[in-house]
Each structure stands twice: as C-alpha cells, then as structure tokens.
Amino acid sequence: MTTLLELKNVSKYYSKDIAALSNIHFSIEEGEFVSVIGPSGAGKSTLLRCINRMIEASSGEVVFNGTNIRKLGRKGLRETRTQIGMIFQHYNLVTRLTVIENVLHGRLGYKSAVAGMLGIYSQEEKQQAIRLLEELGLSQHMYKRVDQLSGGQKQRVGIARALIQNPKMLLCDEPIASLDPGSSKIIMDHIKNISASYKITCLVNLHQVDVALKYSDRIIGVNKGEVVFNGKPSELTTDMIHKIYGSETGDLIFEAGERNAG
C-alpha cells in the first residue's frame, strides 16, 4: 500500500481568531474509500477544498502523490487538479448546455487556452464521454439539456465529468445531500463501484452516519475543525458518534444502533 494523500498540520482561518480547520493531520492510501463525517459547520467542505486549493489553507502541507500541492505555481496546480475529480452537492453543471458537453468539460484541464475556449475535443475524448454516460445509465439523455434532468441524473453527469479527467482521486462534497433516498443509493453505489473498478481513491463528505458506515473503508470524524475520530467503521462507537456530532444527535444514534442490531 502506498500513500496517495497526506495532510500535515493543515489549518484554515477565515477570520483571525476562529479556526475553520486546526492542525488537520491524516493520510489516505491508494484505492481507499474514506468518508468525512461531522455536523454542518464542522469544516468538511473547507477540508476538501483545501486539498485541491479551491480554498487556500492558512498553514500546513498537503502532499498528493509525492508533491506538496501548497507549493505549486499556477501551472503545476492546474496539472495537479486534472488528477483530482470533484463532485458537488449541487452538481455545479452548466445547466443550459447538453449532458455530453458538460461531461467533456472534464477534459478542459488538459487543453490549451484556444482549444479550451473553442471547446475542441478529440474523437477519443468524445468516445470516452459516450462510454461513461452509457456506464452511468444516461445514454438516452446524452443530447438533452441538463436542466431537463432529475437531481440523481444531474449527479451522474457530475460523476462522468469527474471520471473523464482520468483522476487518481475523487473529492465528493456531500454528493447525496440534495437527493431522495432512492437516488442517493444509486449515486453512492456508482461512486463505490468506480472506486473499486478504476482503483480511484475517494474522499467523501457525508452528513449521514449510516451511509458512511455502509460504504467506507475508513471514517474520519470532524468536529469544530478538528479530527476527533479516524478509524474503521467497526470502531465507530455510539459514544464516538456523540463526540463527533456534539448535541446534534438523536436519530444519528438510532442509525448506529440499527447497524449493531443488523
């Protein structure tokens, strides 16, 4: 097993005295499926975005595939971002464009300014987009405008856009928080399958403990910008869930109880 991602003492201050993240320290092995859980406002989104520098961390190191991302220049950062796919709670698609155009956007990181501006894609890239959409069950919707799709379908477009980057890692920020339970399961199954079949490392922010328990190799619990748990799903006790979620518990404990019963 080789380490793909390592965070060393990463901190983030939005304002002077309140730390959104303080001294985050963990590493992720190649091919691992890791969930980050914690109450809203804990710093999950900030943590994910400090990895690909959508948000600049205040201090610390983010080592991805052997290079410290925080030291990279503009060009190096762009190159590294092509290796990291990102999936969002609100899909973040260009809704006025077609499904396949949105998928091909995942290739823009590899393009020169002119090719990118004009949207010039090679035949192989188009073929790959079509293959991915077939794999994700969207072949009938390929030429529809995205604003005509359901939430679950939009998220699958988001997944295809990330996959066409041929990434080493996927960062997923609450990918199912806006979906109904049925679509949520489909999306989580897709992400899990992708992780296994393409050997893509996944770091997934989740709000639901039961989902994290079901899909993850490892769970990281975050509270008030600090890692308070880092271990296997089987090690996540009810007490621990309490600690991660503070007072915001109730049904969460019930979910953990369910797992123990089943």
Partner 1 sequence: MQVDIFLKKKLHNLSFILLLGTAVLGAIILTEYDVAKGFSSVPAAIQWALSNFYPDSESMEKFPDIFEKLVETVLISVAATTSGAALALLFAIAGSSTTQFNRFLGQVSRTIATVFRNIDMAVWSMILLFSFGQSAFTGYFALFFGSFGFLTRAFIESIDEVGDSSVEALRATGAGYFSIIFQSVIPSSISQMISWILFMIETNIRSATLIGILTGTGIGFAFSMYYKSLDYNAASLVVLVIVAAIFIIEWVSNYVRRVIL
Ligand X SMILES: Nc1ncnc2c1ncn2[C@@H]1O[C@H](COP(=O)(O)OP(=O)(O)O)[C@@H](O)[C@H]1O
Give the one residue of 22, 35, 46, 128 binding ligand X; rule: CB under 6 A.
46
Cα distance between residue 183 and residue 181, in whole Å: 6
Segment 10-39, which members bind ligand X (CB under 6 A)?
14, 20, 38
* x-or-dash string of contact with partner 1, 95-124, rule CB under 8 A: xxx-------xxxxxxx-x--xxxx-----
C-beta nearest to Mg ion: residue: 45
Cα distance between residue 219 and residue 234, in whole Å: 10
Q: How far is the CB of 148 from Mg ion (least distance, A)?
A: 27
Cα distance between residue 250 and residue 261, in whole Å: 17
Closest CA to 19 of 247, 230, 223: 223
Q: Write out the two tokens for 155.
A: 């998220």
Give the one residue of 41, 119, 137, 246 binding ligand X; rule: CB under 6 A.
41
Give yes or no for residue 46 binding Mg ion (CB under 5 A).
Answer: no
Q: Contact 36/206 with Cβ under 8 angstroms? A: yes
The burial class, CB within 10 Å (0-12 / 13-18 / 19+), for 118 is: exposed
Give the one residue of 22, 45, 153, 165 binding Mg ion; rule: CB under 5 A.
45
Segment 150-169, which members bind ligand X (CB under 6 A)?
none
Of 141 and 161, CB closest to partner 1: 161
Cα distance between residue 29 and residue 45, in whole Å: 21
Give yes or no for residue 223 binding ligand X (CB under 6 A).
Answer: no
Closest CA to 50 of 103, 91, 8, 98: 8
Q: Cα dihedral sign for 248, 250, 251, 253? A: positive
Q: How far is the CB of 252 from partner 1 (least distance, A)?
A: 28
Of 45 and 153, CB closest to Mg ion: 45
The footprint of partner 1 (CB under 8 A) covers 52, 54, 77-82, 84-86, 88, 90-97, 105-111, 113, 116-119, 158, 161-162, 165, 171
The footprint of ligand X (CB under 6 A) covers 14, 20, 38, 40-46
